[in-house]
Structure 1
Amino acid sequence: MTVDPRLLEIVADRAWPARQSGALGGWRLNASDGWSLRINACWPLGEPDRPIDEAIAAAEAFYAGRGLPARFKLSDGAVVPANLSEHLRARGYRPTHGTVVMVGEASGAIAGATDAAVTLSDTPDPAFEAVLTASAAGNAADARERLDALARIPAPARFARLEVDGEVACLGATAVDGEWAGIFGMRTLPGHRRKGLARRILAALLGEAQALGARRAYLQVEADNAPAIGLYSGLGFVPAYGYRYWVVE
């Protein structure tokens, strides 16, 4: 599947909205509480409105004014200008947190399977919120930031939770934007992993996305998360491109 990283990055930025945003020409500035890197970083997806080093300094000032470190999300094939990494490196930035963007067909083989154990809603309900919070390993601030971002997903969005023996065991969400459906918030509680629950959540979400007009789907997976990459590969998703966050070490 051929994908233009710059176009998909614009879609992905809309799908996971930051609490605050700004712009330096084509550079998008996202800020929240500092936990989810996607909504706490600069996305340089177009030409800045000033010379590169001045733009970097302006981005640094934007984050410093909010008590956050400056981070730059550099996606393969979507960075403008293309030599931005050289300027960042000269200022002490280094790449970290490698992530793979995977894409697949919304109408894949698993999409739309009827599953009575999966509950779908257009907002995160209390049960969804409780399990996502429980999966945050005690970091309530991280969980709250992610829940706030999920609640800001533009319509149409769908939230799925799957119950096993009366207990919510697995979660997921989708943001539909034209032909694209983004998959977010996939969580399985530790005691329920390796039971195929994530596959069932994804099937329900893709079925909903297809009904809402999506033809293609994307998701982000940490580059070192081999089990997740294997899972999604087995469900028809393929790597499209990668990105890294550049931070001052």
Structure 2
Amino acid sequence: MPSASTDQNLPLVRRLEAVGFRAWPATSVQYDGSWQIRLSGGHPSKRLNCVVALDPSDSRDIAVRLEKAARKFEAHGRPILVRETPLTPKPLIDRMRADGWERFEEVMTLTCDLTAIELPEDTLDHLPSHDVGRYVDADLIVHGSDPALKPALAEVVSAIKPPSGLFVIEDPAEGPVAVALCVQDNDLASIMSLAVKADHRQRGLGLEILTAALRWARMRGARTAWLQVVADNAPALALYAKLGFVEAYRYAYWRKGANA
């Protein structure tokens, strides 16, 4: 998949990071300088429970600030995670590596020009729901998640302030088989969650629900779509490439190693 130069595109990184925070809001957000400390006690999403540095030059007192952040995570019963993006100060990365932290789960952020792509006309019959409870139930079923997560996921979805499209494809006999969450923030459309039930994959449902969400966002004025996908998810990357998504930047997570 084609890649954009992250070194020359920090304004885009900053914009997508800011939009992403609004599209997937954490319960608690605190700042230490330009470091954002995101915590959501009831939901395990790494994006909702991590430290994110937003200024490459903000590298003062790294050890002290990491320890302070770690105590906040401990108070929430969670181990500290740091999310590394192109905005992360290099001294912070160097410090974590030297201290034995582990880097894991590289994620690609992809963008697509909605004004230039052709979307199938037959997706118009999939209209978004505004029923958060129905969408959350479907999301948990499709992902195979613990039903106990329902209140926490409902809280996250309900807290999204920009207009959101909650898409669900249901099988008459089996119930929900695909879901997508599209958040429109002015000219940007964020696909924050897209999944097809494991036993219904390879049937075109991913493309069907994704194009429905993108068509909805484009009709509302969105000009650019973006999403995030784990870098080793080859089937998803093939689907997104088919629609013209290209790489904007990558991020990854760091956690304390056994000897850190």
Q: Same fold (TM over 0.5)?
A: yes
Asked if residue 200 in structure 1 is aligned to residue 208 in structure 2, the reply is yes
2:181 aligned counterpart, secondary structure: strand
2:132 aligned counterpart, secondary structure: coil
Cα distance in 1 for partners of 2:119, 2:65 equals: 43
Per the TM alignment, residue 248 of structure 1 is displaced from its structure 2 partner at its CA by 0.7
**Any conservation in 1 of the 2:110–2:228 contact (CA below 8 Å)?**
yes
2:128 aligned counterpart, secondary structure: strand
**Any conservation in 1 of the 2:168–2:180 contact (CA below 8 Å)?**
yes
**Any conservation in 2 of the 1:111–1:205 contact (CA below 8 Å)?**
no
Amino acid in structure 1 at the alignment position of 2:105: H
Asked if residue 246 in structure 1 is aligned to residue 246 in structure 2, the reply is no
116-125 vs 153-162, which moves further:
116-125
Equivalence for 1:215: 223
1:119 aligned counterpart, secondary structure: coil
Equivalence for 1:53: 63
20-29 vs 52-61, which moves further:
52-61
Mapping of 1:9-20 within 5 angstroms? 9-20=17-28
Asked if residue 71 in structure 1 is aligned to residue 78 in structure 2, the reply is no
Amino acid in structure 2 at the alignment position of 1:42: V
Mapping of 1:68-217 within 5 angstroms? 68-75=78-85, 77-79=86-88, 81-111=89-119, 113-115=121-123, 117-126=125-134, 128-142=135-149, 144-165=151-172, 167-217=175-225
1:35 aligned counterpart, secondary structure: coil
Q: Which of residues 231, 242, 248 in structure 1 aligns to 2:239?
A: 231
Cα distance in 2 for partners of 1:14, 1:247 equals: 24
Unaligned stretches of 5+ in structure 2? Answer: none
1:208 aligned counterpart, secondary structure: helix
Cα distance in 1 for partners of 2:156, 2:74 equals: 21
Cα distance in 1 for partners of 2:126, 2:236 equals: 21
Equivalence for 2:44: 35
> Scaled by the length of structure 1, what TM-score is found?
0.88
| Percent pairwise identity | 27
> Scaled by the length of structure 2, what TM-score is found?
0.85
Per the TM alignment, residue 161 of structure 1 is displaced from its structure 2 partner at its CA by 1.2
* Deviation per residue, 1:45-104 (Å, 9 max, x gap): 1265952222212211221121111100001x221x232101122333121111111111
Per the TM alignment, residue 214 of structure 1 is displaced from its structure 2 partner at its CA by 1.6
* Length, aligned pairs only: 246
* Deviation per residue, 1:126-145 (Å, 9 max, x gap): 2x222211134352345553
**Any conservation in 2 of the 1:110–1:203 contact (CA below 8 Å)?**
no
Cα distance in 1 for partners of 2:154, 2:116 equals: 28
